[in-house]
Structure 1
Amino acid sequence: MRAIQITEFGGPEVLRLTELPEPAPQPGRLLIDVDSAGVNYADTHTVENSYLAASSLPMVPGAEVVGRTADGRRVVALTDNGGYAEKALAAEHLAHDVPDGVADGQALALVIQGVTAWHLLRTCARLAEGESVVVHAAAGGTGSLAVQLAKEFGAGRVIATASTEEKRALALELGADVAVDASPEDLTDRLVEANGGRKVDAVLEMTGGPVFDASLAALAPFGRLVAYGMASRVPPTPIEPARLMGRSRSVIGFWLAHCLGRPGMYHEPLDELLAMTADGRLRPLIGAVHPLSEAARAHEDLRARRTTGKLVLDVRA
């Protein structure tokens, strides 16, 4: 079968198309004929071995696929890597049927990024009716869904950040009340100004470094900052307890992996998101579809912040 394999850690240049044996069926795991595979920012960390879980070589990257099982089910599934290939194995409990009316790319946008956005707002930030929420990288895969879900869940004011005018315009189109420049210089002031001069109740943060620091400074008393990424690859300033206690602020970390074995934390949010997509209340954005052979280009674009929405590899192309 055709697959993207890495035999050394590094940047997009280590992603190479090759021929590999098909994975052998295993008890408790589904063999899926892959139609499309999703590309996530976390994949760029996995390929360079800088993610939360250590990688091992050789490896076929890719944590999400959509395709058909041997008995004809159309499923979207999480994989333990191996997704950038014509066939992939997935644990049975991590495969979810895709309803009619939801396209492959939409299903891929929801299985990691959609469920992540749901948990950022519901489980971690515990967003209450009327509260303000900042969504960083609001034109990206998770951010574009978080903007829409925040409005659906009753946010009083959704403040989007993005790096370009085009991305900020997209965030406004998706329902953000205001969109500001994402650069860290004077970011705290811009966030407070965007909230009518008041500090904010919640921030969804995936950049790290000075953006994290500026976001923490923008929190109101009892505000929550949810950290779910480290895209800048720069650590923030260490947090002393007094910095949190002094304004009754919280910093909450989130990693989707901790939801997968817990009842009610994977299939149930995904069911809700798929239903919202099927009836038009939620619009997962498909940023670009690349053939499997262009996986390196997808990673390059993602790391260079040239993308919006969900990146998809068409494995059949």
Structure 2
Amino acid sequence: MRAMQFERFGAPEVLAEAEVPDPVAGPGETLVEVEAAGVNFGDIKHMAGEHTDGPYAPKGPLPHIPGMEVVGRTADGRRVLGYVQQGGYAAKTVVADRDLVSMPPGVSAGAALALLVQGLTAWHVLRSVARVRPGESVVVHAAAGGTGSLAVQLAREFGAGRIIATASSGEKRAFALELGADAAIDGEAEGYKERVLDANQGRPVDIILDAIGGPVLDSAVDTLGYLGRLVTYGASSRKAASALAPERLAVESIGVAGFWLVPLIARNGVGGPALEELLDLTARGRLRPLVGAEYDLARARDAHEDLLGRRTKGKLVLRP
């Protein structure tokens, strides 16, 4: 079968097209003919060899086929969405049954792929970690990105009272407002507190969803109100935040929690009410995943370079 693989760790240029044997499903697994595969920063980290242990660690000897998300069909004709630790950049792949869900009619491959990692992350940071309640104010950092754009929409769906989006450009802020945010502001650390409080009509906020880290996280904590919660699920700034003293958390009655999707999938699989709700909301037109460019599988290297160069918007899709 046709696949993209790498024989050594490195930058996108290590990816090369190859003919490889078809995978064989074992007990508790299903063979899927791939219609589309999603592209993630995790794929790039896998290729770079950045993770030597933990959930992203490469499995088995080289060469490897990267790719964590696939949409395709099973031998009995079911159209499915699946999560794999590696092996998605191929014409066929094997998926554990607990990481495979049937797709409802009317959901595109790109939209479904956007729901798997980014959508589940947005759902869990709001529901499982922040435990958003109706009427609460929610600040979403990087609100025009894959996870942020879904978090804005889900916060509205879950009954948030006021949604404040942060984004780096006027175009992105306008997009966040289109998705349902009540206000959209610049997310830079300098002047952050004043902008957020002004956007929340002078009041401290209840929930902040942060994937930036560094000075932005430090500034965000200063805007939390009584029993406010900040959830960190990434650090795109690649800068360290100041250590938060436990005494401050206690005195101000605020909480800071973290979330990473991969360990949750390792424990429970992707199936369950979260993904079912995301797919249902999308099928009914209540949730709009942001889908970006599509590439032929042989151009996977170009997709990685575009992602690294921040030239993309929305979920990138490979077509075998």
Cα deviation, residue 67, structure 1: 0.2
- The residue number in structure 2 matching 1:258 is 263
Cα deviation, residue 171, structure 1: 0.8
Which of the residues 44, 50, 57 maps onto 1:55?
A: 57
For 1:225 and 1:6, the matched residues in 2 are separated by 38
Which of the residues 269, 279, 282 maps onto 2:287?
A: 282
**What are the equivalent positions in structure 2 for 1:207-218 lying under 5 Å apart?**
207-218=212-223
For 1:107 and 1:265, the matched residues in 2 are separated by 13
RMSD: 2.1
- The residue number in structure 1 matching 2:273 is 268
Contact 2:42 2:56 in 1 (8 A): no
Residue 53 of structure 1 aligns with an amino acid whose one-letter code is P
SS of the residue aligned with 1:188?
helix
**In the superposition, relative to structure 1, how do residues 181 and 10 fare at CA in structure 2: closer, same or farther (>3 Å)?**
farther
**In the superposition, relative to structure 1, how do residues 306 and 161 fare at CA in structure 2: closer, same or farther (>3 Å)?**
farther
**In the superposition, relative to structure 1, how do residues 9 and 264 fare at CA in structure 2: closer, same or farther (>3 Å)?**
closer
Contact 1:183 1:211 in 2 (8 A): yes
- The residue number in structure 1 matching 2:3 is 3
Which of the residues 230, 235, 240 maps onto 1:235?
A: 240
- The residue number in structure 2 matching 1:303 is 308
For 1:149 and 1:255, the matched residues in 2 are separated by 18
SS of the residue aligned with 1:196?
coil
Contact 1:140 1:310 in 2 (8 A): no
**In the superposition, relative to structure 1, how do residues 37 and 265 fare at CA in structure 2: closer, same or farther (>3 Å)?**
closer
In the alignment, structure 1 residue 43 sits paired with structure 2 residue 48 = no
**In the superposition, relative to structure 1, how do residues 293 and 189 fare at CA in structure 2: closer, same or farther (>3 Å)?**
farther
**Larger mean Cα displacement after TM superposition, 26-35 or 55-64:** 55-64
Please, which runs of 5 or more residues in structure 1 have no aligned partner?
none
**In the superposition, relative to structure 1, how do residues 18 and 165 fare at CA in structure 2: closer, same or farther (>3 Å)?**
farther
**In the superposition, relative to structure 1, how do residues 161 and 11 fare at CA in structure 2: closer, same or farther (>3 Å)?**
farther
Which of the residues 123, 128, 134 maps onto 1:129?
A: 134
For 1:178 and 1:295, the matched residues in 2 are separated by 36
Contact 2:25 2:94 in 1 (8 A): yes
**In the superposition, relative to structure 1, how do residues 290 and 184 fare at CA in structure 2: closer, same or farther (>3 Å)?**
farther
**What are the equivalent positions in structure 2 for 1:221-232 lying under 5 Å apart?**
221-232=226-237
TM-score scaled by structure 2?
Answer: 0.91
Cα deviation, residue 262, structure 1: 5.8
**In the superposition, relative to structure 1, how do residues 272 and 143 fare at CA in structure 2: closer, same or farther (>3 Å)?**
same
**In the superposition, relative to structure 1, how do residues 8 and 233 fare at CA in structure 2: closer, same or farther (>3 Å)?**
farther
**What are the equivalent positions in structure 2 for 1:76-115 lying under 5 Å apart?**
76-115=81-120
**In the superposition, relative to structure 1, how do residues 212 and 11 fare at CA in structure 2: closer, same or farther (>3 Å)?**
farther
**In the superposition, relative to structure 1, how do residues 293 and 276 fare at CA in structure 2: closer, same or farther (>3 Å)?**
same
Offset from partner CA, 1:4-50 (integer Å, 9 cap, x none): 22333333333333332222222211111101001123333333334
**What are the equivalent positions in structure 2 for 1:172-251 lying under 5 Å apart?**
172-251=177-256
For 1:45 and 1:192, the matched residues in 2 are separated by 37
Offset from partner CA, 1:133-168 (integer Å, 9 cap, x none): 111121111111111110111111111111222111
In the alignment, structure 1 residue 12 sits paired with structure 2 residue 17 = no
In the alignment, structure 1 residue 33 sits paired with structure 2 residue 33 = yes
SS of the residue aligned with 2:288?
coil
Residue 110 of structure 2 aligns with an amino acid whose one-letter code is G
**In the superposition, relative to structure 1, how do residues 305 and 242 fare at CA in structure 2: closer, same or farther (>3 Å)?**
farther
Which of the residues 293, 298, 301 maps onto 1:293?
A: 298
Please, which runs of 5 or more residues in structure 2 have no aligned partner?
none
SS of the residue aligned with 2:252?
coil
Cα deviation, residue 76, structure 1: 0.2
**In the superposition, relative to structure 1, how do residues 291 and 89 fare at CA in structure 2: closer, same or farther (>3 Å)?**
same
**In the superposition, relative to structure 1, how do residues 251 and 14 fare at CA in structure 2: closer, same or farther (>3 Å)?**
farther
Cα deviation, residue 249, structure 1: 1.6
% identical aligned pairs: 54
Offset from partner CA, 1:207-265 (integer Å, 9 cap, x none): 22222222222222211111112223333223331232232221111122333366697
Number of aligned positions between the proteins: 315
Contact 2:100 2:270 in 1 (8 A): no
Residue 126 of structure 1 aligns with an amino acid whose one-letter code is R
